[in-house]
């Protein structure tokens, strides 16, 4: 309900809490009364409500399982497309997008949070994949990035999107360690909204990603075939941004 006015909602189409835009309301009333005489009256049909854009930016951090073989290669290609698409749409809101990948024995900040499409394209030109799955290390790295970014800008809203099948195979007690990190997630990143995108496939499914989401207090979305369009839709739906450039805060 607060922020810079960037447009108006017609009567009956305003979201809850949208403030009345007095000038636009009077214009609508004047236009309706232009061909008539007598005193001007403002009716419910004349009401216009402000579309506002808040000052707070969004931090969108994707954390992606880059282990495996052909499936990981396709997945990383879709993730790269999604990151660039999100950055193209995020310019006016000052949103920043980052990417953490985990594979082999460690996690890597493949793209530090940025608002630059050019910087992202350069960093994402090659995304390595394959090997085991260090899930605990990946989640820990994500928590560090979010904490660091919150210090940098405490007003930004953080959205973490974890793309994984929930498996953990790197190091001793890999799954148990991942669950410990997940159980402490709400304490580690209390201000972040988290979504777990479950990319488990095949006829026999273990439900590890769903369990991970429950432990993290995160939203769980099953998306067996990870696609850039699906990831972009998940982010835009949860950050309040729209593909046509309009934004309501």
In the chain the domains, ranked by start, together with CATH numbers, are 4-53 (no CATH), 58-239 (3.40.50.410)
CA distances from 135 to 132, 177, 249 (A): 9, 8, 34
Chunked into runs of 10 residues, the chain (249 residues) has average pLDDT values of: 67 74 82 67 80 74 84 86 89 84 92 93 87 94 94 87 93 94 94 92 84 96 86 88 40
Q: List the beta bridge partners of residue 47.
A: none
Q: What is the spatial distance between Cα 135 and Cα 102, in angstroms, rounded to a whole number?
A: 7
Q: List the beta bridge partners of residue 61.
A: 98, 160
Does the reported pTM lie above 0.75?
no
pLDDT for position 18: 76
pLDDT for position 80: 92
pLDDT for position 7: 74
Please list, in sequence order, all residues whose beta carbon lies within 8 angstroms of the beta carbon of residue 27, skipping any fewer than 6 positions away. Answer: 48
pLDDT for position 1: 54
Please list, in sequence order, all residues whose beta carbon lies within 8 angstroms of the beta carbon of residue 63, skipping any fewer than 6 positions away. Answer: 99, 100, 101, 102, 138, 139, 141, 142, 160, 161, 162, 163, 164
pLDDT for position 30: 80
pLDDT for position 109: 95
| Largest pairwise CA distance in the chain | 83
Please list, in sequence order, all residues whose beta carbon lies within 8 angstroms of the beta carbon of residue 96, skipping any fewer than 6 positions away. Answer: 57, 58, 59, 60, 90, 113, 114, 115, 149, 156
Q: List the beta bridge partners of residue 135.
A: none
pLDDT for position 53: 61
CB 52 within 8 A of CB 83: no
pLDDT for position 8: 79
């Amino acid at each position: 309900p607060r922020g810079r006015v960037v447009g108006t909602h017609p009567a009956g189409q305003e979201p809850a809490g949208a403030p009345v835009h007095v000038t636009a309301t009077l214009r609508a009333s004047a236009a309706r009364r232009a061909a008539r005489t007598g005193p001007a009256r403002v009716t419910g049909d004349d009401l216009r409500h402000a579309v506002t854009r808040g000052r707070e930016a969004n931090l969108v951090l994707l954390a992606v399982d880059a282990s495996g073989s052909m499936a990981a290669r396709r997945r990383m290609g879709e993730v790269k497309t999604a990151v660039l698409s999100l950055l193209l749409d995020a310019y006016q809101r000052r949103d920043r997008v980052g990417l953490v990948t985990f594979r082999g024995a460690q996690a890597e900040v493949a793209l530090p949070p940025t608002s630059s499409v050019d910087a992202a394209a350069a960093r994402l030109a090659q995304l390595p994949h394959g090997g085991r799955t260090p899930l605990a290390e990946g989640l820990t790295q994500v928590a560090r990035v979010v904490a660091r970014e919150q210090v940098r800008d405490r007003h930004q809203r953080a959205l973490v999107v974890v793309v994984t099948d929930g498996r953990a195979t790197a190091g001793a007690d890999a799954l148990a360690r991942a669950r410990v990190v997940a159980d402490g997630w709400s304490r580690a990143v209390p201000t972040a909204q988290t979504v777990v995108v479950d990319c488990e496939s095949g006829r026999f499914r273990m439900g590890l990603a769903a369990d991970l989401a429950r432990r993290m207090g995160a939203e769980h979305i099953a998306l067996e075939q990870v696609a850039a369009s699906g990831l972009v839709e998940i982010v835009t739906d949860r950050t309040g941004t729209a593909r046509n450039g309009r934004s309501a805060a």
